[in-house]
Amino acid sequence: MTDAQRQLAEKLTAARKVVALSGAGLSAESGVPTFRGDGGLWRNHRPADLATPEAFATDPQLVWEFYNWRREKVLSVEPNPAHHALTELERSLPAFCHITQNVDALAHRAGGENIIELHGNLMTTLCSACREAQPHAPVIVPFPTYCEHCGALVRPGVVWFGESVTQFEPALAAMNECDVLLVIGTSAVVQPAASLATIARRQGAFAAEFNLEATPLTDRIDLFIAGPAGRTLPPVVQAAFA
């Protein structure tokens, strides 16, 4: 354990309300590709071609194939020790909220409960016209699939660039109330997730960041814990609540 990990463990032991804000780095050790690092999805694909309402309007099948490929990937992997550590943290604290930009639902599969999925959920679909959620099992959905209510094309239940995140108000409330914030595996360049972290910090929360490398947030947090979250987070949670 480093001094930084020990210091954070003490803060967590004394904390009442803790928020974790996560990004693709949380799932990297499960084998889910990140977006901007080496091998990242946006290194080989343009977001504008695959992750916007305009892309879906232009070539829905291409967009659908991209998301089915991601669904297959996520269905073939398992939560990693960082996801499990967050579940343990949730069970040990009076109040805990996990705000994630990830759409892979791995935190749910690890047993996490109070999770805000800012960017939606890869395993869900909704109508591209009436926005009605479509009932189906979390599996690969064939293209084209049409809305059970209005007959329009069904789309992935994720938030695309240019769209509003889901559950922003509860995420904001959690940031305004927490006394410890953990920022885990996000490059902190996509809004509004990045500014949510600043809000917690500004209202006086103690903030710790887990990442392989510095981000635009690093200068504004209290502790930076370098390394893969699957290895750096579990010992902190264990030390806080053993």
Q: In this complex, which beta carbon is closest to ligand OAD, that of residue 95 or of residue 235?
A: 235
Does 235 sit near ligand OAD (CB under 6 A)? no
Q: In this complex, which beta carbon is closest to ligand OAD, that of residue 94 or of residue 191?
A: 191
Q: Which of 59-67, 134-142, 168-176, 208-216 is the region at the interface with ligand OAD (rule: CB under 6 A)? A: 208-216
In the complex, minimum distance from the CB of residue 176 to ligand OAD, in angstroms, rounded to a whole number: 22
Size of the site for ligand OAD (CB under 6 A): 27
In the complex, minimum distance from the CB of residue 24 to ligand OAD, in angstroms, rounded to a whole number: 3
Does 206 sit near ligand OAD (CB under 6 A)? no
Instruction: Name the residue number minimizing CB distance to ligand OAD.
Output: 25
End-to-end Cα spacing for the chain:
14
Does 210 sit near ligand OAD (CB under 6 A)? yes
Confirm whether 119 is a catalytic residue.
yes
Report the C-alpha dihedral over residues 68, 73, 78, 80, rounded to 10 degrees.
Answer: -110
Are the beta carbons of 84 and 91 closer than 8 angstroms?
no
Interface pick for ligand OAD out of 81, 112, 185, 234 (rule CB under 6 A):
185
Structure tokens at 196: 């949510």
Structure tokens at 107: 């935190």
What 8-state DSSP symbol labels residue 146? Answer: B
Are the beta carbons of 196 and 181 closer than 8 angstroms?
no
Q: In this complex, which beta carbon is closest to ligand OAD, that of residue 17 or of residue 73?
A: 73
Helical H segments across the chain, by residue range: 3-14, 25-28, 41-44, 47-50, 53-58, 60-75, 81-92, 106-109, 168-177, 193-202, 229-241
In the complex, minimum distance from the CB of residue 203 to ligand OAD, in angstroms, rounded to a whole number: 22
Interface pick for ligand OAD out of 139, 161, 216, 238 (rule CB under 6 A):
161
Of 98, 119, 136, 149, catalytic: 119
How far is CA 9 from its chain centroid? 22
Q: Among all residues, which ones are annotated catalytic?
A: 119
